[in-house]
């Protein structure tokens, strides 16, 4: 697909692979290729779940800081929205998405992981938002997604200090969902999403839209969104199959329609 980011599809799982050695620094080109890969995974009917994978050594160690040294305020005003929306493209993939994290997930790398539904983390991995040490703040969703995931007080601790957390702390505070040996990260991430490849794709899409969309609404609006999405699923073949299989006491065979 791109020079540094590619989408590989096998057995219903799309793997978005970052390949910009040595640290998968997320420069402007990588950001745009990431957007393209996320859009491709979203539109590919054969992709039922997604893994974001940086390789065996590192997930992504943040933005390419060399780009920041000469960037002016007008330059970043023009670029900041595109930076955020590139990561948002991953968050908006209407399918289950898991980050498989080895090595470091720092700065933009951590923000990319936060854009996923789950994070499978290597035992020796380090995660964090160290932007404050550069005199800036996270600019691709870190202040917003991290606070929603671990709570505002813990998010402030990590963002104000810029410190890294190990896998044990990440698991304790909810930043990691599973911790496994480094050699097992990709396999564990694939195992986490594999069951969804034969699940009811439209219902999974609706569930994700209801949960993520509801986080930005008050309760009444969220309940209205849920009701709308719930009712819509009664127009799907999978709803017919699922309810019929339950009554007939057999395993459903979902088609994603």
Question: Of 12, 111, 125, 155, which is the active-site residue?
Answer: 111
Residue 131 among the catalytic residues = yes
| CB atoms inside a 10 Å sphere around CB 91 | 19
- Asked if residues 183 and 237 have their Cβ atoms less than 8 Å apart, the reply is no
Q: Where are the beta strands (DSSP E) in 84-166?
A: 97-101, 104-106, 118-122, 126-128, 164-166
- 241 is known as an active-site residue: no
Looking at 38, 63, 91, 115, which residue is catalytic? 63
Is 119 in a helix, a strand, or coil?
strand
User: How far apart are alpha carbons 220 and 25 in whole angstroms?
Assistant: 41
Whether 8 is catalytic is no
Smallest CA-to-CA distance from 99 within 23, 16, 36 is with 16
Choice among 103, 113, 131, 155 that is catalytic: 131
Q: Is 63 a catalytic residue?
A: yes
The residues, any chain, with a CB within 8 Å of residue 146's CB and separated by 6 or more, are 110, 114, 129, 138, 155, 158, 159, 175
SS3 state of residue 66: helix
Taking the CA atoms of residue 84, residue 88, residue 89 and residue 91 in that order, the dihedral angle to the nearest 10 degrees is: 160
Of the candidates 108, 141, 199, 242, the residue annotated as catalytic is 108
Catalytic residues: 63, 108, 111, 131
């Amino acid at each position: 697909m791109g020079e540094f980011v590619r989408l590989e599809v096998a057995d219903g799982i799309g793997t978005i692979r970052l390949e910009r050695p040595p640290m998968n620094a997320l420069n402007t080109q990588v950001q745009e290729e990431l957007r393209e890969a996320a859009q491709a995974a979203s539109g590919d009917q054969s992709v039922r779940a997604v893994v974001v994978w940086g390789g065996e050594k590192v997930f992504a160690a943040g933005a390419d800081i060399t780009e920041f040294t000469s960037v002016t305020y007008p330059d970043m005003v023009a670029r900041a929205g595109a930076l955020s929306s590139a990561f948002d493209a991953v968050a908006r993939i209407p399918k289950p998405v898991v980050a498989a994290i080895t090595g470091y997930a720092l700065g933009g790398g951590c923000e990319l992981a936060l854009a996923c539904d789950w994070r499978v983390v290597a035992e020796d991995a380090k995660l964090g938002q160290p932007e404050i040490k550069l005199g800036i703040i996270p600019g691709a969703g870190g202040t917003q997604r991290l606070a929603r995931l671990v709570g505002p007080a813990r998010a402030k601790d990590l963002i104000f200090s810029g410190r890294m957390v190990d896998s044990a702390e990440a698991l304790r505070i909810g930043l990691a969902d599973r911790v496994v040996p480094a050699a097992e990260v990709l396999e564990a991430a694939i195992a986490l999403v594999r069951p969804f490849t034969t699940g009811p794709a439209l219902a999974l899409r609706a569930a994700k839209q209801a949960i993520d969309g509801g986080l930005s609404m008050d309760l009444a609006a969220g309940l209205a969104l849920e009701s709308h999405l719930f009712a819509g699923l009664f127009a799907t073949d999978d709803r017919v199959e699922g309810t019929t299989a339950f009554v007939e006491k057999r395993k459903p065979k979902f088609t994603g329609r």
